[in-house]
Amino acid sequence: MTPSVRLQEMIRVIRSARTQGEERGIIQRECADIRAQFRQGDNGERSHSLAKLLYVHMLGYPAHFGQMECVRLIASPRYSEKRIGYLGAMMLLDEKQDASLLITNSIKNDLSHSSQYVQSLALCTLACMGSAEMCRDLAPEIERLLRASNSYIKKKATLCAVHIIKKVPELAELFTPSARTLLSEKNHGVLHGAVVLITELCKRNPDTLDQFRKAVPELVQIMKGLVTSSYSPEHNVAGISDPFLQVRILRLLRILGHNNDTASDAMNDLLAQVATNTDSSKTAGSAVLYETVLTIMDINSESGLRVLAVNILGRFLLNNDRNIRYISMTSLQKIVQTDHNAVQRHRGTIVDCLKDQDTSVKRRALELSLALVSAVNIRSMMKELLIFLSFCPPELRSQTASGIFNAAERYSPSKRWHIDTILHVLTTAGGDVRDETVPNLIQLITTASELHCYTVHKLYRALVKDIAQQSLVQVACWCIGEYGDLLLKGECEEIEPMQVTEDDVLDALETVLQSHMSSPATRGFALTATMKLSTRITDNVDRIRSIVSIYGSCIDLELQQRAVEYNALFKKYDHMRAAVLERMPVMDKNLPGHTNGDTPGEIKEPDTSKPKPVEAGLLSEPASQVCDLLDLLGGTDTPLQPSPAPTSTPTTTSSADLLDLLGGLEPTPELTIPPAPFDLFVLKDKHCCVYVHVVPTVSVYEKNGLSLKIQCDKQTETEVTVSLIASNSTQNDITNFTLQAAVPKSVQLQMKAPSGNVIPAHGLGQVTQTVLLNNPNKASLPCFRFMRIRVSYSNQGAMHQDTVLIDSFPSTACQPSISPL
Amino acid sequence: MTMHFLLLFSRQGKLRLQKWFLPLPERERKKIVKDMTTMVLSRKPRTCNFLHWKDLKIVYKRYASLYFCCALENKDNELLALEILHRYVELLDKYFGNVCELDIIFNFEKAYFILDEFLMGGEIQETSKQSIAKSVEASDMLQETMEEYMSKPAF
């Protein structure tokens, strides 16, 4: 009887099932059959039944009842049964199953079997699913096989040893002596295994790494032999002699040469030889070249070699094979920081790749292009990037937009160019830009006072054309409100003249107000802009008054509040109107991360829009920025609905003034404060720019006069930047102050240099240190916000050390605090 | 070149072979298979063969009606992975003679045996095609002669 007929018959029957239900029925019957077979015991049919079960398992049906059968078959003396039993073990058993331990003994026996094929089965299974316990049990056996057996077994034993070391790192010492001798083997399989083993050993233990550095000359010899050898049919792949082994050796050389001059020197010649002699017309050669480039970049190679490597990558960029272009761009991305000039030479090709069909290639080209932008090439690069933005796939839009903004901010040759660029992006991809763009752009516009006329004209025209892009509309409304008088004047040197009447402007704003496309925040902008125009236009003030009064009964609470306040401004406080609606002064640039980061559209949630109540005395921002509530007039001159400035802390004097100003008005119940930034806000007759700016600091450690506070500077999905501020209230200075931090494994930590290591006494000074936590896997783990800090310092000659555990960071400005674990 | 897993699936998403080099619970394996098939099958024809998934690199190649898909660690050489997949296809081709999907469906256990002579623990164990072919042939012979031997009556 041929073994597979029954199996193949069953497979045929299953495949002929026409519906899922029919298939399930067949499978159920077969499984019942198989179970019966297993119960019957030894009758020569067991291996077929297990094979059938494995097929069923691959289709996705449960097969756990076959686990014990695997164990039994492995113990059988028949090779056919062992073979299928081991296969079943690899498929159905893993180290988490209890049954896996039962095969340890069989494996042990089979490792010393007379037939090498039985030994090989055992080795393969151990390397595939061996648990730590099994590995510990069988390690001595494997070590023996490493030394004294034929090449067939040696190569398998070597890889088994690699698996053992991964599972039980302490056993690495067991295999280190034999690993060295294996390098003198001629058999490529064994040699390959040996290189893998040595790589694994070196990764685990720096001492072993030092030890194996002495093997560099030997490895170089082997490589040379491979590269210069004549055609060997056994190992040849597209003209390269054993590319698998070559790549592996190059990888090991990389690890051995990293940060070590002697080792790197010993490899220089070889790497140059491989780089120049390898034929890269097929994938095999390119794979070897690629690995060579990676090695050259990672060791202390001489500059000529590095240039050679970058040139290889440049050549790859022009290759027809898309894979190779992709590879070269990922590699260039890694080295663009260190070898910037060399990569710049290939800028043209990289920019061309922006037009490639493949999205992954486009993405890589985008990242690389953004990294290559410099003051010199900003204009041409930006042209390309803006073209790219118009045609790029939607998933790359926001990345492109933010990249363009960053580049523009760093390298813009002129303000006008900067504003033009931002406007271009907003018109093309306004929906994909980040929320900070609107306040940033407004701030930029206010600083470019000579361009106000130009800007407002441009924005007006863009607004008239299309009101769908919310960010653009918001900025346009704000500008029209502020600089409406310039718009109405008509002439502007830098742009074609266009007659704009007051009615046109009010029409435009009203369209925004009424359009269903406008978000609530946008409508807030438009309403305020309309109001501001009341002091800048002459004829249509009545029209403005009527618009404003209509919105006094708007369903949207925010708009209603504004409208009511503006109405009041018209009626009872008309004498103050001009002062209130005056032009805003130039604003200071916000520190990054301290803007009101809420999306303008979410004013409905009172939590996010209300700034966090500040804990007393914890304002750590310099006094130049008044931390006060930004909202229109609420809280200033109109006595009607003063927003009680929830952030007002007793410590800031300006807010104290504010409260005085309101002079005895009852505080209203808490209002939802819209997150729309930069609305006007005037304090008495002083002009003062305010925006929400609450940065709470939380004290995490107070002992012996040393206090440590933590403040969250910036918080995104994958990154948190915190500052640790230490102060000293004792009589003596604290010296040798150092902080060490530890974070969970999945988080990357970067500590910037501290501002100093001496903290003056009596709280006269502070030491600040910034820490960056990066969570690249974007796992929103609660433990992302875990950090353990060790503090050590000397005070009055005595050394002190202490540890602090931080399990939640304070929120950044105006964001709800993230609840800790 | 540590491979985390190797999958073969058809254009309709049916799994034909799965080799896992890491211990993962059954449920997670199923999920990964589903993710891989969806991701790879939705790729347009003239795109590159590399993908990013979680923190792994996925390398896939289509041979006739089968997709060969493997997962590598971030530091591994993707071009070499393409060569590994190609080598495996060559081995199957040599063994079955002009291999097609049906061969792998009906003789899946043989496909596994060949794979186990080529890769072990996620690493390559033999770089010579002839050597692997010889070992598989010898194991098959052993199976058959043992069978014949065992099916003879003992006395």
* Sequence letter at residue A679: D
Q: What is the pLDDT of residue A678?
A: 41
B residues 52-111 lying closer than 8 A (beta carbon) to A: 54-55, 77-80, 82-84, 86-87, 105-109
* pLDDT over 90 (residue A222): yes
In three-state form (DSSP H/G/I as H, E/B as E, the rest C), the secondary structure along A151-167 is HHHHHHHHHHHHHHHHH
Residue A628: how many CB atoms within 10 A of its CB?
Answer: 26
Q: Judge whether A484 is closer than 8 Å to chain B, CB to CB.
A: no
Cβ–Cβ below 8 Å for B125 and A117: no
Q: Judge whether A162 is closer than 8 Å to chain B, CB to CB.
A: yes
Q: What is the pLDDT of residue B146?
A: 64
Indicate which of A152, A252, A333, A362 best probes the interface with B, i.e. most B CBs within 10 Å of its own CB: A152
Cross-chain CB nearest to B131 (options A189, A322, A326) = A189
* CA distance between the termini of chain B: 52
Q: What is the pLDDT of residue A647?
A: 38
Q: What is the pLDDT of residue A85?
A: 93
Cβ contacts of A189 on chain B, cutoff 8 Å:
125-128, 131
Cβ contacts of B29 on chain A, cutoff 8 Å:
none
pLDDT band at A793 (very low <50, low <70, confident <90, very high): confident
Cβ contacts of A80 on chain B, cutoff 8 Å:
143, 146-147
Q: What is the pLDDT of residue B148?
A: 61
Average pLDDT (A214-219) is: 92
Cβ–Cβ below 8 Å for A152 and B46: no
The Cα-based distances of B33 to B6, B14, B18, B20 in angstroms read 10, 10, 9, 11
Cβ contacts of A4 on chain B, cutoff 8 Å:
106-107, 109
Cross-chain CB nearest to B124 (options A4, A244, A294) = A244
Longest dimension (CA), chain A: 108
Q: Judge whether A693 is closer than 8 Å to chain B, CB to CB.
A: no
Cβ contacts of B80 on chain A, cutoff 8 Å:
243-244, 247, 287, 291
CATH class of B3-151: alpha beta
Q: What is the pLDDT of residue A2?
A: 43
A485-520 pLDDT, tens digit each: 888 876 777 777 777 788 888 888 888 888 888 888
Q: A70-75 long-range CB contacts below 8 Å, 24 or more apart?
A: A70/A99, A70/A103, A71/A99, A71/A102, A71/A103, A71/A106, A72/A46, A73/A46, A73/A47, A74/A103, A74/A106, A74/A107, A74/A110, A75/A106
Residue A338: how many CB atoms within 10 A of its CB?
Answer: 10
Q: For residue A773, list its beta bridge partners.
A: A720, A749
d(CA A412, CA A418): 6
Check residue A449 and report its DSSP letter.
G
Cβ-proximal residues to A124 (8 Å cutoff; 6+ apart), any chain: A86, A90, A156, B116, B120
* Sequence letter at residue A610: K
Tokens of B33: 């298979």
Q: What is the pLDDT of residue A608?
A: 35
Strand, coil or helix: what is A595? coil
d(CA A636, CA A642): 7
Cβ–Cβ below 8 Å for A192 and B125: yes
* Sequence letter at residue A740: Q
Cross-chain CB nearest to B106 (options A11, A54, A96) = A11
Cβ contacts of A359 on chain B, cutoff 8 Å:
47
- C-alpha angle A345-A346-A352 in degrees, rounded to nearest 5: 140
Q: What is the pLDDT of residue A783?
A: 52
In contact, A419 and A445? CB cutoff 8 Å: yes
Cβ contacts of A195 on chain B, cutoff 8 Å:
none
In contact, A815 and A605? CB cutoff 8 Å: no
Indicate which of A128, A135, A156 best probes the interface with B, i.e. most B CBs within 10 Å of its own CB: A128
Average pLDDT (A324-345) is: 87
Cross-chain CB nearest to B123 (options A58, A162, A294) = A162
* pLDDT over 80 (residue A343): yes
d(CA A542, CA A554): 19
Q: pLDDT exceeding 90 applies to what percent of chain A?
A: 25
A732 burial type by CB count under 10 A (0-12 exposed, 13-18 middle, 19+ buried)? middle
d(CA A616, CA A45): 81
Q: Judge whether B18 is closer than 8 Å to chain A, CB to CB.
A: yes
Q: Judge whether A79 is closer than 8 Å to chain B, CB to CB.
A: yes
Cross-chain CB nearest to B80 (options A80, A87, A247) = A247
In contact, B39 and B52? CB cutoff 8 Å: no
Cβ contacts of A129 on chain B, cutoff 8 Å:
23
d(CA A692, CA A695): 10
d(CA A432, CA A15): 48
The Cα-based distances of A203 to A210, A251, A385, B21 in angstroms read 11, 12, 42, 19
Q: What is the pTM of this model?
A: 0.69
Q: What is the pLDDT of residue A796?
A: 79
Q: Judge whether B148 is closer than 8 Å to chain A, CB to CB.
A: no
Cβ–Cβ below 8 Å for B47 and A358: yes
**CA dihedral sign of residues A632, A636, A640, A643:** positive
d(CA A351, CA A383): 11
Cross-chain CB nearest to B79 (options A15, A127, A283) = A283
Cross-chain CB nearest to B128 (options A123, A235, A247) = A235
DSSP B99-127: --HHHHHHTHHHHHHHHHHHEETTEE---
Q: For residue B5, list its beta bridge partners.
A: B20, B71
Cross-chain CB nearest to A290 (options B77, B87, B120) = B77
| Domain ranges (residues) in chain B | 3-151
A15-74 pLDDT, tens digit each: 999 999 999 999 999 999 889 888 887 667 788 899 999 999 999 899 988 998 999 999
Cβ–Cβ below 8 Å for A156 and B125: yes
Phi and psi angles of residue B25, each rounded to the nearest 5 degrees, phi first = -65, 155
DSSP A57-100: HHTT---GGGHHHHHHHHTSS-HHHHHHHHHHHHHH--TTSTHH
Which residue, A692, A629, A618, is CA-closest to A662?
Answer: A629
Cross-chain CB nearest to B121 (options A95, A159, A286) = A159
Cβ–Cβ below 8 Å for A189 and B128: yes
Cβ-proximal residues to A609 (8 Å cutoff; 6+ apart), any chain: A598, A602, A603, A672, A673, A674, A675, A814
Indicate which of A360, A362, A363, A746 best probes the interface with B, i.e. most B CBs within 10 Å of its own CB: A360
d(CA A533, CA A488): 11
H helices of A301-436, in order, are 303-317, 322-335, 340-344, 347-352, 359-372, 378-391, 394-411, 415-429
Quick one: angle between helices A322-335 and A303-317, nearest 10? 140
Cβ contacts of A7 on chain B, cutoff 8 Å:
109
The CA distance from B101 to the nearest CA of chain A, in Å, is 13
Cβ–Cβ below 8 Å for B121 and A128: yes
Q: What is the pLDDT of residue A553?
A: 85
Cross-chain CB nearest to B48 (options A84, A163, A361) = A361
Radius of gyration of chain B (CA): 17
The CA distance from A12 to the nearest CA of chain B, in Å, is 8
* pLDDT over 80 (residue A785): no
In three-state form (DSSP H/G/I as H, E/B as E, the rest C), the secondary structure along A720-745 is EEEEEEEEECCCCCEEEEEEEEECCC
In contact, A268 and A305? CB cutoff 8 Å: yes
Q: Judge whether A163 is closer than 8 Å to chain B, CB to CB.
A: yes
Cβ contacts of B107 on chain A, cutoff 8 Å:
4, 8
Cβ-Cβ contacts under 8 Å between A and B: the total is 165
Check residue A686 and report its DSSP letter.
E
Q: What is the pLDDT of residue A734?
A: 81
Cβ–Cβ below 8 Å for A242 and B127: yes
pLDDT band at A782 (very low <50, low <70, confident <90, very high): low
In contact, A189 and A150? CB cutoff 8 Å: no
Residue B129: how many CB atoms within 10 A of its CB?
Answer: 18
Q: What is the pLDDT of residue A767?
A: 84
Cross-chain CB nearest to B128 (options A55, A80, A188) = A188
Q: Judge whether A699 is closer than 8 Å to chain B, CB to CB.
A: no
In contact, A308 and A275? CB cutoff 8 Å: yes
Per the prediction, chain A carries an average pLDDT of: 79
Q: What is the pLDDT of residue A475?
A: 87
Average pLDDT (A315-341) is: 88
Which residue, A181, A214, A218, is CA-closest to A197?
Answer: A181
A residues 212-251 lying closer than 8 A (beta carbon) to B: 234-235, 237, 242-245, 247-248, 251
d(CA A255, CA A252): 5
By 3-state DSSP, what share of chain B in percent is helix, strand and coil, each rounded to 5? 50, 25, 30
* Sequence letter at residue A635: G
**H/E element holding A501?**
none
DSSP A189-247: HHHHHHHHHHHHHHHH-HHHHHHHHTTHHHHHHHHHHHHH----TTTEETTEE-HHHHH
B62-119 pLDDT, tens digit each: 999 999 999 999 889 999 999 999 999 999 999 999 999 999 999 999 999 999 999 9
Tokens of A587: 């604003």
